[in-house]
Amino acid sequence: MSPLPFFRRREPVEPPPDEVTEDVARPGEEDYVVRPEDEAATEYIVRPEDEPTEYVGPPVAEEYAEYAPPAAERRVTRVTEEPPRRVVPPERNPWPWLLALLLLVLGGIAAAYFLTRDDDESAATATVPNVVGQRANAATARLRADGFTPVTRRQYSNEPRGEVLRQEPAAGRTLREGGTVTLFASRGAATATVPNLRGLSEAEAASELTERGLRANVFRVPSTEPDGTVVAQNPAADEVVKKGSAVRVNVSRGQTTTTTETTTTTTTTTTTPTTTGATGATPPPPPQAVDVPDVVGQTEADAAAALADVGLLADSYPVAAQDPSGTVVAQRPAAGGTAEEGSAVRINVSIGPDARPERAVPDVTGVDERVARARLRRVGLTVRAIPRTVTKPDQNGVVILQAPNAGLRLQLRAQVTIYVGRLRP
């Protein structure tokens, strides 16, 4: 009985020749002397020609079965082992390591900040004291002693100059030591410069004063100037006064004229009335003496108003005193005496113990040296006169230059230099 096709007997396979075995073993040889140096050298090893592998199909029915060819007719396929390849590790990207290092450094900085920062909750605190109503220098000293940093800002006020009006934060608040406390101190009342009113009409003078926040206190006096013309004022032009102050304005009421008529009648046969008229100017009456009121202790504005009510002018002079700023501390003539109507009464006004107010420099160029000195001293400035040779006769004895210029503000008792013309002989 013939064997079934799918139980075909396989013929024993003969071992490969020695040269083939040698070719297969050499690429994997442990001895580096026998092993080829590289893959290129391995390719030169002589190998028998390979033959295609025979395909053996699945079992089929007997009638379709075929006997396998004899072993001598089959071809043997020799498999050569692939030589090992050298594996090169891939290059590593350095950026992940750099990023990790950066994150580590940032984390250390953040930790140091949170561990060493000065936390407001842990910082020492103190209660803000009440310094409203105190002098600014005393208030700042108190705040520094309590560990705060004072900052002073000044604003116009009717309160005495240098007095603390309010503070931020308010008293009683809790503040970190070294914190800032802002003080708002009075710089005194707002000031205005008195304009020159001489030669203006009464309405024009009142308008000029109103524009500067001042009041006009008008007095009508006899004068040779046209009726309604300003002939004098007090305070003088360019003086600096508080806003709201009254400025005395003397307005001319013209000359007083009287007309008398004398009639003489002679009786004859015919009565003829003869009238002769004579018109003459009567000189103005002499100034009357008035009682000087007591203005010591009043404010400067109230004192000026009280003097104006009796026909006197107020000549204010600032002085350092312990009394509140703006208070009259002395007067001349004294209260109870008499003075001519229209004359000035000197009043000394306190500016506080340490303050030195600023004064506007008046324009004294073109006036006589004596007048210039009086005008500068009137506003509380000192004078230094320097002669300057001139060739024009009308410049002799006249101020031709001043330093500093008019309009600048100087501290009280500051020096103003005037250059007085001296005619060359």
pLDDT band, very low/low/confident/very high, at 254 (cuts 50, 70, 90): confident
Q: What is the CATH number of the domain that holds 199?
A: 3.30.10.20
Q: pLDDT tens-digit profile of 305-329?
A: 888 888 888 877 777 778 887 889 9
223 within some domain: yes
Judge if 182 and 205 occupy the same domain. Answer: no
- From 350, 370, 388, give the residue that closes a domain: 350
**What's the pLDDT at 281?**
45
Model pLDDT for residues 177-222, shown as the tens digit of each residue:
889 999 998 877 777 888 889 888 888 888 888 888 888 888 888 8
Provide the percentage of residues in the chain whose pLDDT is more than 90: 6
Q: Looking at 331, 350, 369, which one is the last position of a domain?
A: 350
Between these two residues, 12 and 374, which has the higher pLDDT value?
Answer: 374
Work out how many domains the chain is built from and give that number.
4
3-state secondary structure the chain: CCCCHHHCCCCCCCCCCHHHHHHHHHHHCCCCCCCCCCHHHHHCCCCCCCCCCCCCCCCCCHHHCCCCCCHHHCCCCCCCCCCCCCCCCCCCCCHHHHHHHHHHHHHHHHHHHHHHCCCCCCCCEEECCCCCCCEHHHHHHHHHHCCCEEEEEEECCCCCCCEEEEEECCCCCEEECCCEEEEEEECCCCEEECCCCCCCEHHHHHHHHHHCCCEEEEEEECCCCCCCEEEEEECCCCCEEECCCEEEEEEECCCCEEEEEEEEEECCCCCEEEEEEEEEECCCCCCCEEECCCCCCCEHHHHHHHHHHCCCEEEEEEECCCCCCCEEEEEECCCCCEEECCCEEEEEEECCCCCCCEEECCCCCCCEHHHHHHHHHHCCCEEEEEEEEECCHHHCCEEEEEECCCCCEEECCCEEEEEEEEECC
Residue at 239 is within a domain: yes
The model's pLDDT over 46-96, given as tens digits with 9 standing for 90+, comes to 555 555 566 556 665 555 555 555 555 555 555 556 666 666 666 677 788
Asked whether residue 386 falls in the same domain as residue 339, the answer is: no
With respect to residue 114, please indicate whether it lies within any of the assigned structural domains.
no
Give residue-wise pLDDT tens across range 143-168. 999 899 999 988 877 777 788 888 99
Given 324, 350, 376, which residue is the final one in a domain?
A: 350
In this predicted model, what pLDDT tens digit does every residue of 267-320 receive, in sequence order? 444 444 444 444 444 555 566 788 899 999 898 888 888 888 888 888 777 777
> What residue numbers bound the domain in which 227 lies?
191-252
pLDDT at 42 over 70: no
